[in-house]
Structure 1
Amino acid sequence: MTRLVLHRDVSYCSVDGQLIFLDTCTDRYFRLSDELEAAFRRHIDGRPATHDHLARLVERGVLTPESPAQSQPRSLSIPVPTCSALERIAEHRHRLPLPLAKTAALVGLTQLQLKTMSLQRVLTRLAAARARLGQSAPVDADERSRTLEAVSGFASARRFVPIATCCLLDSVALLKFLTMRRIHAHLVFGVMAEPFAAHCWIQRGEEVLNDTLGHATAHTPIRVI
């Protein structure tokens, strides 16, 4: 019998005892009924679930028959953040010319991509671009300073771009900006349960780059790119 595994476009996390799912192919968050959530937990834990429940989970796009491609990692882990670059920028004097043209172009192009492409396609492109950088450099004092300089420049220039701010838009654009400067970072999607809220931010190691520490840690990571 073919083994059923989590669909490659789906990730989930547990928040206050509730499972929340993210499907990046359809760009939606969702929950399962209590009955299906219990069946999903049994299946993931290696305990038996009824054929009817498994079939419904496959129909919902949560589970899928295992294939060689499905064995590849879908999501990375990320340390719990302990500091925020955004909160240090006020103390950091930006000495280089502001990258206004580059920032405006990245934000505009990213907005267009998010409107015309699936979220999964945008994320796949981001991961591929970062993979071409090779291994990440050690995060020493010089590398932290270089990262802070880049984040500070992007944040300063972003204020002059006449496009409304949005966590997904600005996080994707910032990740592109950092990748162009050969700085490794990750896009983190997080959620809250009651009331439901979704958010995303850029993180490098234990440092949040474009959000406050308190706001980021209030959300439980559900997917890391």
Structure 2
Amino acid sequence: MGSAPILRFPCSIRVFLQVERGGPVIDPAASKHTSRHTPDAVSAAEDVYLCKVYEDVVVLDLKADRYLCLLDAGTWLHPQPDGRLILGPDGPTEDLVAADIAVRGFIDRQRRASKTPTLELSGSHKTSPIETLWAALQILEATQVFRRKTLEQLVAAAIRPPDIRGRRTTSAQAFGAYKHAVTWVPGEGECLQRAFILKRVLAGRGIHADWVFGVRTWPFGAHCWLQIDDMVVGDTLARVSNYTPIMVV
């Protein structure tokens, strides 16, 4: 088997730069730590998320706010939805542990998986001036929360949604108010900021939406969007279908 170098993506999730080669190499064939008998029981390290994209495995290190790509690792590394990592007999366990990608033992991280999206909620919907004003205030508040936060801090803030204010509404009504209000609020930002703000607007009306982070390779790209069950909110099926989910908040 050929080597599987780690391609480092030395950037925040907010800005994706050109892939730089030449990072440390994880080579199952050459590793002196390779187990050639019973595969070791390992799990993703805390705050580390993995997914398989074709023959590669992409790693999201939440604390470091960066992505890594393990070339051809999909032949020996199989991430599971609960955080466990199934390694083939030639999987370089020690190297994964040393790189802070994995820890020994099967640990149920209780991570959530997103449903395959089949619907989208992206158009404008009727709303009242009061609802639009409320949404605008929520957008301004969420924008303040978003500023100068790391990805880890944003995820923590998203897990603790704002208190429900006012009456509960349907997802279409809440999204309609957001769409009308956002045109009057400057600085909507890129997908990370948009999804964070919309998630808080929906949560303020008692609506839970999954915050899905996805990746693609060759060329590398990352995107995030909201889903309610199998319905994409504020984005399109055509766009999100290009990405493989790696983390759901």
| Gapped regions of structure 2 (runs ≥ 5) | 1-39
Give the counterpart of 2:47 among 9, 28, 35. 9
Equivalent residue for 2:155, pick from 95, 103, 123: 123
CA–CA distance in structure 2, aligned partners of residues 184 and 4 of structure 1:
32
RMSD, matched Cα: 2.8
Distance 1:161 1:5, change over 3 A: same
Taking a change above 3 Å as real, the CA distance of residues 219 and 154 of structure 1, as seen in their structure-2 partners, is same
1:83 to 2:122 alignment: no
Q: Which of 70, 82, 89 is the aligned partner of 1:48?
A: 89
Partner of 1:93: 126
User: Is the partner of 2:59 in helix, strand or coil?
Assistant: strand
> Which residue identity lines up with residue 85 of structure 2 in the other structure?
I
Asked if 1:155 is matched to 2:182, the reply is no
Unaligned runs of 5+ in 1: 134-142
Runs of 4+ in structure 1 off by over 6 angstroms are none
1:115-158 deviation digits (Å, cap 9, x = unpaired): 2x43223213322438x99xxxxxxxxx9x71111111112211
Residue 47 of structure 1: how far off its partner (Å): 3.6
Classify 1:94/1:77 alpha carbon distance in 2 versus 1 (closer, same or farther; 3 Å).
Answer: same
For 1:72-221, what aligned pairs fall within 5 Å after superposition? 72-73=109-110, 75-86=111-122, 89-90=123-124, 92-97=125-130, 98=132, 99-110=135-146, 112=147, 115=148, 117-129=149-161, 146-221=170-245
The residue number in structure 1 matching 2:60 is 22
Q: Distance in 1 between matches of 2:41 and 2:86?
A: 13
Stretch moving more, 152-161 or 119-128: 119-128
Q: Report the secondary structure of 1:31's partner residue.
A: strand
Structure 1 residue 71 corresponds to structure 2 residue 103: no
Verify the 8 A CA contact 1:21 1:29 in the aligned structure 2.
Answer: yes
Q: Which AA in structure 2 matches 1:163?
A: G
Normalized per residue, the structure richer in strand is 2
Structure with the bigger RCO (C-alpha within 8 Å, sep 6+) is: 1
Q: Provide the TM-score with structure 1 as the length reference.
A: 0.77
* Distance change in 2, residues 1:166/1:220 (3 Å): same
TM-superposition CA deviations, 1:166-216 (whole Å, max 9, x none)? 101111111111112111110000112121110000100111111012111
Q: Distance in 2 between matches of 1:45 and 1:129?
A: 34
Residue 28 of structure 1 deviates from its aligned partner by 1.1
Aligned partner of 1:152: which letter? G
Q: Do the aligned partners of residues 78 and 37 (structure 1) sit closer, same or farther apart at CA in structure 2, a change above 3 Å counting?
A: closer
User: How many Å separate the matches in 1 of 2:209 and 2:248?
Assistant: 10
Quick one: percent identity of the two aligned structures? Answer: 25
AA matched with 1:151 = F
Asked if 2 retains the 8 angstrom alpha-carbon contact of 1:178 and 1:185, the reply is yes
User: Structure 1 pair 195/76, CA: closer, same or farther in 2 (3 Å)?
Assistant: same
TM-score between both structures, scaled by the size of structure 2? 0.70
- Considering fraction of residues, name the structure with more helix: 1
Whole-angstrom CA distance in 2 between matches of 1:46 and 1:15: 16
Secondary structure at the counterpart of residue 50 of structure 2: strand
Say if 2:54 and 2:74, in contact at 8 Å, map to a contact too: no
